[in-house]
Each structure stands twice: as C-alpha cells, then as structure tokens.
Chain A
Amino acid sequence: DTGVSQNPRHKITKRGQNVTFRCDPISEHNRLYWYRQTLGQGPEFLTYFQNEAQLEKSRLLSDRFSAERPKGSFSTLEIQRTEQGDSAMYLCASSRAPRGYGYTFGSGTRLTVV
C-alpha cells in the first residue's frame, strides 16, 4: 500500500492559464474522489469516479473544470482559464467498495493563481 499520490504538490500559475493535476490512487481502490479545500474550510466535493466512469459532479465544478480517469487507474483534474478564486488545495482520495470504510487521502496539490 503506497498510499494516494498527488502531483504536483504546489502549483503557481498566472490567471488565465490552464493547469492539470494528477492523482494516483491505491491500486485496489475502484473509487476516486476530488475535493477542494480553502483556508479554514472543510473539503468540498468536486467529482467522483467508480472505475473509469464519472458518476457525480458537483455544481462547484464549472465548465472550466474537467476530470478524467482513463482505464480506471490514475485521474487528472484540469482547470482551464484559471481565476484567482480557484486558489485552493485540491485533494484526491480513493476508497474501495462498499461504502462506509472512509477514504484514503493524498497530500493534495496547492494551487495559487496570481
């Protein structure tokens, strides 16, 4: 069990640029989640995959956000035309079926939009 890996750890980008983050879940976990966390707040759900199928997207996930999980392995989260309000910690987590066992979180990618 190597844990959930997220890259990069930190990303500074200029407003208007596109950014992509990667998450490698625990290999046996078929579920993968993306959350966003701003300072002083709890994680907010963005989207969820079961294997390669994206099963739910939050209303927080505007058209500028897209997530993929090809082949049900790693996942990418892309933000197009970044805005200052996108500055946050982006957390990835994975879990195995069934529900109720909690998630294993990665260390997150901290995005700063300047």
Chain B
Amino acid sequence: AQTVTQSQPEMSVQEAETVTLSCTYDTSESDYYLFWYKQPPSRQMILVIRQEAYKQQNATENRFSVNFQKAAKSFSLKISDSQLGDAAMYFCAYEGAQGGSEKLVFGKGTKLTVNP
C-alpha cells in the first residue's frame, strides 16, 4: 500500500520569507500524481498544486512551487513571499494513475504558522 510521510508536524516562517515543507512517499507504481492541499482553520481543504510523476518539470503556481525528486520519492512544497493568509495545515497526497485503488492517500500534515 502507498504511504505518505510528512516529517514536520509544525513549521513557522516570517512574513515575506520562504519556507519549504517536506513530503516523502512510498510506492511501487511508476505512474502517479502528487498533490499539496491547504486546510485553513475551520475551512475546507483546497488544492494548492499538483504534479504528474511522468513529467520531469516541477510544477509551479504563483508563489507555490514543488521540488519533485522521483528517484528519492520526495515531493517538497516551497512557498515564496509568505503571507499571513498562508497559515494553515498543509497535506501532501498521492494518487495512483492506473489500476489499483482510486483514492488520494494523505500524509498527517504540517501546520504552518506565518509570523508578522
């Protein structure tokens, strides 16, 4: 079974600075998708960024970018120019691309605090 590990339960960053959240995963599949979701306090989970495993190029979405290392099974999220609104729980998630189980598998999350 696939597993997702987020080794940083909590992180903090100063406003306008850059922070990187770590995620590793375990799978025997060669094709899959990876996601980062943001869950603000008492609000719904929203998709931040997605990566297709067969694409070498790292995904970027405005201030959010990923460092995808397929061989190392690592998928970190970099937030540049951090803003107060970035404070939230961040979850890394995995989805297999073919056959098998069709569901997202989540890590335990990283709580990000943004200090003014």
**A→B interface (CB under 8 Å):** 4, 31, 33, 40-45, 48, 50, 55-56, 91, 99-108
Contact = CB atoms under 8 A, between A and B. Distances in A.
A104 B93 CA distance: 14
Contact of A100 (B6, B33, B106): B33
B108 A42 contact: yes
Contacts of B93: 42
Contact of A101 (B37, B50, B101, B106): B50
Range class of the B interface residue count: 20 to 34
Given A43-B91, A99-B33, A107 B44 contact: yes
Interface string B85-111: 000000101011100011111111100
Interface in B4-29: 4, 6
B35 interface: yes
A86 B89 CA distance: 22
Given A41-B109, A107-B43, A102 B103 contact: no
Contacts of B35: 102
A99 B104 CA distance: 10
Interface in B68-99: 91, 93, 95-97
Contacts of A45: 103-105
Nearest to B35: A102
Interface string B36-53: 010000011111001010
Given A42-B4, A43-B104, 9 more contacts: A33-B103, A42-B6, A42-B106, A43-B45, A45-B103, A48-B103, A100-B33, A100-B95, A105-B45
